Amino acid sequence: MANIAAKRIKREFKEVMKSEEVAGGSIKLELINDSWTELQGEIAGPPDTPYEGGTFLLEIKVPETYPFNPPKIRFMTKIWHPNVSSVTGAICLDILKDQWAAALTLRTVLLSIQALLSAAEPNDPQDAVVAKQYREDIRLFNLTASHWTNVYAGGPTVIWEFNQKVQVLIEMGIDEDQARVALSTFEWEIERATEHLFS
Amino acid sequence: MNCDQFYSVFRHPYSITNLASVQNNTSNKMSAESDMEYSDNDGDDYDYYGEQDDCDMEAVDRTKSDPEYFLYTCLRVEEVEKLLNESIELLSNSLQITPSLAKVTLHAYEWNAQEIINKYKENANEVLVYSRVKSRSPVLQASTSRSSCAVCANTPPMHKYSALACGHYFCNDCWAMHFEVQIMQGVSNTITCMAQDCELRAPEDFVLSHVTKPNLRERYQQFMFKDHVKSHPELRFCPGPNCQWIFRAWTREGARRVECQGCELLTCFSCGAPHHAPTDCPTIRRWLTKCADDSETANYISAHTKDCPKCQICIEKNGGCNHMQCGACRHDFCWVCLGDWKSHGSEYYECSRYKEDPNMSSDSQHAQAREALKKYLHYYERWENHARSLKLEEQTLASLKSRINQKVMAGEGTWIDWQYLWDSAKLLKRCRYTLQYTYPFAYYMDNGPRKELFEYQQAQLEAEIENLSWKVERAETTDRGDLENQMDIAEKRRTTLLKDFLEFHTTTASSSKV
């Protein structure tokens, strides 16, 4: 079993390395250990989305039963997206669950995750809070997602207003990440965010 | 297959007055009769019975006298296997397809063989595509040379490749591994092709031709069977722990009582929850979820013991009857409302009714929330209380059996002489069961004359049940005639309530016939 898994991963690794996406810098794959069971993926935020310009790291764990079971993948870079948990980075994507097929490869999976960043599925959310904002206030959602991309993924768009608000909460003694989650959750209203944090 | 015919199949020699004694063997009789009639039959030809006029009359009688009457059978695994195999054989013979293909098709069409045959005649391709054994898009042509298996990257010789009807070839080792992983995860009927976006299902013969380990093959077939029963609209597993029996019935609408022959569990055939008449399936689901969410609070608030309202001694309830008599001061009171038992009277029993506080200030949100909680607790406490009573009466039933045995051994009459005691305890259980399930029904009812009528009938039923419980607990010293009279009254109250409030939303056989 593990034999097939290792063999497959080796071949897929080569496939990704040779692919035009790697050449174009849109995806990357790195080995973490020699046993081929852990890898690190990297995808570029797709153009014309709030993630543009950001680089997102993914943790990839290959199970013993690969490729008959899907790889376990989560975002290591924090991201504000309806189908990704803003806390754990868990991804809600059908091909990583019941729609997995043994013939799928790490390359296709990485490309699918990238596609998910361009086209969110707010009706099948991983993070209910983000999905609600996506549905009800897309403008604020885009700003928040850009802000997160800037702070965590090295994106170019700086939103001064949000930075200042986070700073206000940090000065109250709140952890930066916690402050950002609270503000993003409560539509960047300092009062409600603090009320939530101190209750 | 149509329900009208089934309703008339069954003969009903019982009248309401001796219903209690008959109840024990009802399900046995039913299945005995039905065994004869259904399993030796191809499952389609029941008209013969429907034409017997006298049977028809009795069927009408039975549905009138027992509002919960529902025709079903309890089947063993082998009988169900036989039943399923008959459908499979019928389909594979009439369409000239393999049994394994017939299984996939039947599973996709919820075991409606006739529908498949009709549709197959119209458009065979569509049936196969719908069943996911054939792809909609044109089949890939098997190329003469394959460089390597897309899954394992190995390069086995050409003859070690296989594919489903979609033409996605993979090596046999990978298929075997794929099936092993899927079977270990409990998947059977719905194992799909390994290709991306291909939803074709692997039929049984294809799976078994690749899986060689005997325990895995066995597991696969067990899962297949479970899956078949679950996908069959006429079948339902008894939810009892380790229970092997399977119910068969012909409609899945409304609260439908089925009693397992093996573990005697009462189940609703429509939704698989414990039987819940008069409450309907969606309502009981809401109620049970609500209870699961709130019961911790409710448990906390409602204590398990109460103080005697007269002498304040702490009393633990050890029997099912809610008519309490304090061991210390002999005061008779009601466990539910703690009022004097005498004031309950025989005419109008008030304590099952929830009285909304008329002085409630409607503007205060807090007061409203408190009132809502109070209302919920009122119904929940009664629901819980009757559930506890049922458990305690279960113990009474067990000890009754040994007491009767002792009497018979000591020569004080025969089993038949004491049968009425047994029957009364069984009847009490059935009545209290229904009473328990009237509380979620009442909780979700809108205020109005219908609710008033319901609560009136519920109160009447409750009063008679407590009377019966009191008499059953002291049955050996009270008059037999008195007890039997009480049994009759309680059962009549129960059926009256069910008749007025048990609703089936579709026009079923019973209503169309009557």
- Domain definitions of chain A by residue range: 2-118, 128-198
Q: Are residues B223 and B239 located together in one domain of the fold?
A: no
* Whether residue B340 is found in the same domain as residue B481: yes
Q: Quick check: A102 and B178 CB within 8 A?
A: yes
A4, A15, A69, A93: best to mutate for the B interface, most B CBs within 10 A: A4
Domain check: are B341 and B406 in the same one? yes
CATH code, domain carrying B477: 1.20.120.1750
**Shortest alpha-carbon distance between residue B153 and chain A (Å):** 6
pLDDT at B55: 42
Q: How far apart are CA A133 and CA B265, in angstroms?
A: 47
Regarding whether B388 and B470 lie in a shared domain, the answer is yes
B196 touches A at CB < 8 Å: yes
Secondary structure (H, E, C), B114-126: HHHHHHHHHCHHH
Catalytically active residues of B, by annotation? 321
Statement: residue B16 has pLDDT above 60? no
Quick one: pLDDT band at residue A77, thresholds 50, 70, 90? very high
Active-site residue flag, A111? no
Q: Does B174 reside within a domain?
A: yes
Q: Do A4 and B177 touch (CB under 8 A)?
A: yes
Q: Cβ of B196 and A4 within 8 Å? A: no
Those residues whose C-beta lies under 8 Å from the C-beta of residue B485, and which sit 6 or more positions away, are: none
Q: Which of B148, B152, B213 to mutate to test the interface with A (most CBs of A within 10 A)?
A: B152
Q: Work out how many domains chain B is built from and give that number.
A: 3
User: What are φ and ψ of residue A31, in 5° steps?
Assistant: -85, 145
Instruction: Pick the residue from chain B with its C-alpha nearest to A65.
Output: B181
CA angle A39, A43, A47 (to 5 degrees): 175
Residues of A in contact with B174 (CB under 8 A): 4, 102
Q: Render A40-71 in DSSP notation, one character per residue.
A: EEEEEPPTTSTTTT-EEEEEEE--TTTTTSPP
Taking CB atoms and an 8 Å limit, are A101 and B198 in contact across chains?
Answer: yes
**Cβ contact, residue pair A101, B181, below 8 Å:** no
More confident residue, B235 or B138: B235
| Closest Cβ–Cβ partner in B154, B174, B197 for A102 | B174
Tell me whether residues A65 and B154 touch, CB distance under 8 A.
Answer: no
DSSP 3-state assignment of B82? helix
Q: Is A122:A82 a contact under the CB 8 Å cutoff?
A: yes
Count, in order, helices (H) and strands (E) of chain B. Answer: 18, 11
Q: Which of B177, B195, B196 sits opposite A68 (nearest CB)?
A: B177
Chain A residue whose CA is closest to B176: A68
Contact check, Cβ <8 Å, B181/A69:
yes
Q: B210 with B142, same domain?
A: yes
- Whether the per-residue pLDDT at B18 is higher than 70: the answer is no
Domain annotation covers residue B180 = yes
Between B252 and B303, the more confident residue is: B252
- For A138, counting Cβ atoms within 10 Å of its Cβ (0-12 exposed, 13-18 middle, 19+ buried), the class is exposed
- Asked, for residue B323, whether it belongs to a domain, the answer is yes
Q: Which token pair is B407?
A: 């009497």
Residues in chain B within 8 Å Cβ distance of A11: 153
Do B241 and B298 fall within a single domain?
A: no
B354 plus B414 within the same structural domain: yes
- Identify whether residues B248 and B211 lie together within a single domain: no
- Whether the complex's predicted ipTM is more than 0.85 is answered with no
Residue B86 lies in a domain: no
Question: In this structure, what CATH number is given to the domain that contains residue B170?
Answer: 3.30.40.10
Nearest to B151 among A1, A67, A108 (CB): A67
By CA distance, what is A2's nearest residue in B?
B152
**Beta carbon pairs, A and B, within 8 Å:** 41
Q: Which residues of A touch B177 (CB under 8 A)?
A: 1, 4, 68
Is the CB of A101 less than 8 angstroms away from the CB of B178? no
Per residue in B363-420, pLDDT (tens digit) is 455 566 667 777 888 888 899 899 999 888 888 888 888 888 888 888 887 888 888 8
From A92, A131, A151, A153, active-site residue: A92
Determine the structural domain holding residue B161 and report its residue range. 120-231
Q: Are residues B393 and B486 in the same domain?
A: yes
Chain A CB contacts of B197 under 8 Å are 101
* B197 in contact with A, Cβ within 8 Å: yes
Contacts of A4 (CB under 8 A, 6+ apart): A66, A67, B151, B152, B174, B177
Mutation target among B196, B197, B198, B200 for the A interface, most CBs of A within 10 A? B196
Is residue B507 domain-shared with residue B466, that is, in the same domain?
yes
Phi and psi angles of residue A52, each rounded to the nearest 5 degrees, phi first = -55, 135
Q: How much is the mean pLDDT over chain B?
A: 77
User: How many helices and strands (H and E) does chain A possess?
Assistant: 8, 4
Chain A contact set for B151 (CB, 8 A): 4, 8, 67, 102-103
**If pLDDT is split at 50, 70 and 90, which confidence band does A71 have?**
very high
* Same-domain check for residues B35 and B155: no
Q: Which stretch of DSSP H or E encloses residue B257?
A: strand B257-259
- pLDDT of B94 > 80? The answer is yes
What would the pLDDT profile of A153-192 be if each residue is shown by its tens digit? 999 989 999 999 999 999 998 999 999 999 999 999 999 9
Query: Could you tell me what percent of chain B has a pLDDT over 90?
Result: 24
The 10 Å CB-count burial string (b at 16+, else e) for B297-319 is ebeeeeeeebebbeeeeebebeb
Q: How far is B159 from chain A (nearest CA, A)?
A: 20
- Å between A161 CA and nearest CA of chain B: 37
> Tens digit of pLDDT for each residue in A82-141?
999 888 888 988 888 878 999 899 999 999 999 999 998 887 778 888 988 998 899 999
Q: pLDDT band for position B57 (50/70/90)?
A: very low
Distance from CA of A71 to the nearest CA of B (A): 14
Which of B154, B171, B190, B194 is the best residue to mutate to test the A interface, defined by the most A CB atoms within 10 Å of its own CB?
Answer: B194
| Cross-chain residue pair A8–B152, CB shorter than 8 Å | yes
Residue from the list A7, A69, A101 with its beta carbon closest to the beta carbon of B196: A101
Q: What is the pLDDT of residue B86?
A: 92
CATH number of A2-118: 3.10.110.10
- Do B253 and B288 share a domain, yes or no? no
